[in-house]
């Protein structure tokens, strides 16, 4: 299993718009065969930071996700609510 934490910094005042735009991505990602979980959280101490917590069966599942219709269509739409690029960290079990 591989965990991904993708942290994005939002522009001021766009949280609800961002969540609305992200809803379809979250729903369809959770339906992917290789997806264990795909959830959005907010930094308790910095409301401009939102984080997608993802759990995938393996690298192949991540590859399929990154090439999925919903990922390739929705991610560019989300980036307009963000400041700079997301910080994406991959974690493996030890």
Which residues here bind its own copies, judged by CB under 8 A? 2-3, 5, 15, 19, 39-45, 50-51, 53, 89-94
Spatial distance between the Cα atoms of 91 and 94, rounded to a whole number of angstroms: 9
Question: Closest separation between CB of residue 50 and its own copies, Å?
Answer: 7
Any idea which residue has 């069966």 for tokens? 57
Q: Please say which residue, 3 or 70, places its beta carbon nearer to its own copies.
A: 3
Question: Closest separation between CB of residue 2 and its own copies, Å?
Answer: 7
Q: Please say which residue, 66 or 69, places its beta carbon nearer to its own copies.
A: 66
Q: What is the dihedral of CA 90, 64, 76, 21, to 10 degrees?
A: -90
| Long-range Cβ contacts of 77-80 (<8 Å, 24+ apart) | 77/21, 78/8, 78/18, 78/21, 78/22, 78/25
Q: Please say which residue, 53 or 71, places its beta carbon nearer to its own copies.
A: 53
Question: Closest separation between CB of residue 91 and its own copies, Å?
Answer: 4
Question: Closest separation between CB of residue 69 and its own copies, Å?
Answer: 25
Spatial distance between the Cα atoms of 87 and 52, rounded to a whole number of angstroms: 10
């Amino acid at each position: 299993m591989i965990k991904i934490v993708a942290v994005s910094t939002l522009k001021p005042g766009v949280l609800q718009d961002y969540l609305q735009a992200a809803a379809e991505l979250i729903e369809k990602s959770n339906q992917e065969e290789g997806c264990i979980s795909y959830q959005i959280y907010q930094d308790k101490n910095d409301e401009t930071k939102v984080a997608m917590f993802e759990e995938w069966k393996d690298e192949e599942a991540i590859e399929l996700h990154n090439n999925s219709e919903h990922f390739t269509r929705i991610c560019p739409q989300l980036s307009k609510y963000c400041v700079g690029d997301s910080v994406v960290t991959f974690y493996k079990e030890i």
